[in-house]
Chains A and B, each alone.
Chain A
Amino acid sequence: MSHTRYHIEAAGEPRNFPPEAMARIEKLLKRYPTKQAALLPVLWVAQETWGWISRETSEEVARVLDLPASHVDGVLTFYTMFHLRPVGKNLLQVCTSISCHLLGAQALVSHCGKRLGIGLEETTKDGKFTLIEVECIAGCDKAPSMMVNDKYYEPMDEKKLDQLLDRLARES
């Protein structure tokens, strides 16, 4: 069963948007009739800034957008693409929805986990890889499909996955 998203980890340090991020946020705010509407875009800016969203980040976003921190948490934990704790340099997102399932996605996930020695939602000790399952990423014609960070790798098989993991391990 899926992992729960109740716990937002603490960064242990203050999170203040750097000036360039603030400038982006100012621009974003002009695109919406309410501040709250900029919440998802601002959370994206935050995730791009720090790589994940911490408790402190949630509070900073709440402050910047004049929202209750509970509201930011509610949104943050609803949308699965926001990371509530640090993730590896390479976020391996293997699609396991129906079309990919039909073409062996589950075996691919197991292979990947075995190969890296991690389970789902876990990160390798060297911080290079985090493995997660994702729901349909619209790569069904090239199933099984996967993404590493923001790039698609499809269609994927065990051999291609091994090559990809080797390359990513070398490069990161």
Chain B
Amino acid sequence: MDKVLSRRVGMPNSQSIDTYVADGGYAGLRKVLTEGWAPEKVTDEIKKANVRGRGGAGFSAGVKWGFLPKDTKGKPVYLLCNADESEPGTFKDRLVMENDPHQLIEGMILASYAIRCRDAYIYIRGEFYDGARILNRAVEEAYAKGFLGENILGSGFSLDLTVHRGAGAYICGEETGLIESLEGKRGQPRIKPPFPAVSGAFACPTIVNNVETLCCVKHVIDRGADWFLKLGRNEKNAGPKLFCISGHVNRPGVYEAPMGLPFKELIYGEAYAQGIKGGKSLKAVIPGGASAALLKPEEIEDCPLDFDGVAAKGSMLGSAAIIVMDEDTCIVAAVMNILKFFSHESCGQCTPCREGTTWLYRVLARIENGQGRVEDIELLTRVAGQMNNGMTICVLADGAAAPILSAVPKFREEFLYHVEHKRCMAAQPQLVTA
């Protein structure tokens, strides 16, 4: 497949509006604004393409836009770009924003036109200093060229775009946490309903879309929904996709491929990560960032990398952050690391998450440090099992539970070994059976 989303990555001056326009950029926007497209036509095209959200949830962007009230009763509609890329293992949006900011900006202008938004924001995580600088420069360029601001391309459509920096909080990647944060509050997710499309930022109808999703919008408008639908495994899992692969592979990085790329192809393929480092064997893989359930090698044998393909294996594609662990990896330490992350990042409002994430981390740390007991293993799954499925306002707790609920049963012998021998099974390669 020819690259789409990452096509301009690495090109000289790829960040500048001149090279972007020379490459055909903003042509789609010009088409929509000067050829009399109604906003609904843009939405229909996105709906038709079934662009599923690339941030983690995989929810159809067009359907989400459709939740906006027909009559907003005079309230403005806000578009927020979720550029708070914080799911461990994910680094695709950073790549896009740092290399091809106008792709995102054009996607945002199109989306704003479709949903009749007058003020849009890019909520970018605080650590992306370069990303924010590059985006700010690109936004200025877009204003200067008349793609942003009043009466864009003489169409009567106006849009202001602001880059808003976060300041170190994973939970702001949750769309209502992001909204709270944008409003100048602690990023504590909100109770739903009401959903943001009805009452979001500043109590107004709001759409939150991921960076990659908004980039897809631009390409669907450029090339049409049919083109998008033909890329990928089926109509529910279509379009180009950025996969992040990291961990014990020879060539970690962001790879673009159509949805449904075979899991093993990504890990072992010559055009992709080129196999496990040092020729070792695979022990486990996380398919969708730290909040996705771990998979064992046999589970990825015939698994297409797309929303439904990974879901069928009991995990999720999430942000398409594939984290590869080789045979020497200590699963206990890896899961402990993940729980340390979640206990640090829990916002603290819901009891099960606030208390549960830290509890799990402490038990894991005890096992890892050789002070575990056999009953701790059952305790882990019991505690994790009572944090998820509606126990909390948002799904951070579900994300914290998933690694435990998958790793403990799948690698039970490693946990047991840790408890019984007070040391790591993985440090004894001869004992590894996988």
Are A98 and B185 in touch, CB under 8 angstroms? no
Name A34-78 residues within 8 Å CB distance of B.
34-41, 43-44, 65, 67, 71, 74-75, 78
Report A47 CB to chain B, min CB distance, Å: 9
Are A97 and B184 in touch, CB under 8 angstroms? no
Are A39 and B184 in touch, CB under 8 angstroms? yes
Q: Is A20 part of the contact surface with B, judged by Cβ < 8 Å? A: no
Q: Is A102 part of the contact surface with B, judged by Cβ < 8 Å? A: yes
Are B88 and A97 in touch, CB under 8 angstroms? yes
The docked-state distance in angstroms from the alpha carbon of A27 to that of B129 is 20
Are A79 and B185 in touch, CB under 8 angstroms? no
Report B209 CB to chain A, min CB distance, Å: 18
Complex contacts, A143 vs chain B, CB 8 Å:
246-247, 252
Name A82's closest neighbour in chain B (CB-CB).
B167
Q: Is A10 part of the contact surface with B, judged by Cβ < 8 Å? A: no
Q: Mark A122-156, 1 if CB is under 8 A from B, else 0.
A: 00000000000011111111110001001110000
Q: Is A33 part of the contact surface with B, judged by Cβ < 8 Å? A: yes
Known contacts A41-B165, A138-B85, A143-B246: does B337 contact A97 (CB below 8 Å)? yes
The docked-state distance in angstroms from the alpha carbon of A36 to that of B203 is 14
Are A31 and B160 in touch, CB under 8 angstroms? yes
The docked-state distance in angstroms from the alpha carbon of A155 to that of B164 is 28
Q: Is A89 part of the contact surface with B, judged by Cβ < 8 Å? A: no
Are B337 and A31 in touch, CB under 8 angstroms? no
Q: Is B37 part of the contact surface with A, judged by Cβ < 8 Å? A: no
Q: Is B314 part of the contact surface with A, judged by Cβ < 8 Å? A: no
The docked-state distance in angstroms from the alpha carbon of A143 to that of B325 is 13
Specify which of A40, A81, A99 is in contact with B181 (CB 8 Å cutoff): A40
Are A43 and B246 in touch, CB under 8 angstroms? no
Complex contacts, B126 vs chain A, CB 8 Å:
44, 79, 81
Are B184 and A75 in touch, CB under 8 angstroms? yes
The docked-state distance in angstroms from the alpha carbon of A75 to that of B338 is 25
The docked-state distance in angstroms from the alpha carbon of A89 to that of B376 is 44
The docked-state distance in angstroms from the alpha carbon of A65 to that of B185 is 13
Known contacts A41-B165, A97-B341, A98-B88: does B94 contact A138 (CB below 8 Å)? yes
Q: Is A116 part of the contact surface with B, judged by Cβ < 8 Å? A: no
Complex contacts, A44 vs chain B, CB 8 Å:
126, 165, 167
Q: Is A101 part of the contact surface with B, judged by Cβ < 8 Å? A: yes
The docked-state distance in angstroms from the alpha carbon of A31 to that of B126 is 18
Complex contacts, A41 vs chain B, CB 8 Å:
164-165
Complex contacts, B89 vs chain A, CB 8 Å:
97-99, 136, 140
Report B170 CB to chain A, min CB distance, Å: 6
Q: Is A96 part of the contact surface with B, judged by Cβ < 8 Å? A: yes
Specify which of A37, A81, A137, A140 is in contact with B167 (CB 8 Å cutoff): A81
Per the CB 8 Å criterion, the residue count for chain B at the interface is 56
Q: Is B371 part of the contact surface with A, judged by Cβ < 8 Å? A: no
Are A139 and B91 in touch, CB under 8 angstroms? yes
Are A2 and B88 in touch, CB under 8 angstroms? no
Task: Tally A-B pairs: CB < 8 A.
Answer: 146
Specify which of A79, A81, A97, A137 is in contact with B290 (CB 8 Å cutoff): A97
Report B136 CB to chain A, min CB distance, Å: 12
Report B253 CB to chain A, min CB distance, Å: 5
Are B183 and A78 in touch, CB under 8 angstroms? no
Complex contacts, B167 vs chain A, CB 8 Å:
40, 43-44, 79-82
Name B342's closest neighbour in chain A (CB-CB).
A135
Q: Is A103 part of the contact surface with B, judged by Cβ < 8 Å? A: yes
Are A136 and B86 in touch, CB under 8 angstroms? yes
Name A37's closest neighbour in chain B (CB-CB).
B184
Complex contacts, B246 vs chain A, CB 8 Å:
99, 102, 140-141, 143
Q: Is B67 part of the contact surface with A, judged by Cβ < 8 Å? A: no
Complex contacts, B170 vs chain A, CB 8 Å:
135
Q: Is B227 part of the contact surface with A, judged by Cβ < 8 Å? A: no
Known contacts A81-B168, A102-B325, A136-B86: does B337 contact A36 (CB below 8 Å)? no
Complex contacts, A147 vs chain B, CB 8 Å:
127
Complex contacts, B244 vs chain A, CB 8 Å:
140-141
Most buried by A among B88, B160, B170, B347: B88
Report B372 CB to chain A, min CB distance, Å: 18
The docked-state distance in angstroms from the alpha carbon of A79 to that of B248 is 31
Are A140 and B168 in touch, CB under 8 angstroms? no
Specify which of A33, A96, A135, A152 is in contact with B202 (CB 8 Å cutoff): A33
Closest 3 CB pairs of A and B: A39-B184, A81-B168, A79-B167
- Can you list 18 contacts pairing A with B, beta carbon distance less than 8 Å? A2-B344, A33-B202, A34-B183, A35-B184, A36-B183, A36-B185, A37-B202, A79-B166, A82-B168, A96-B337, A97-B341, A98-B247, A98-B338, A99-B323, A101-B337, A140-B246, A141-B252, A143-B252
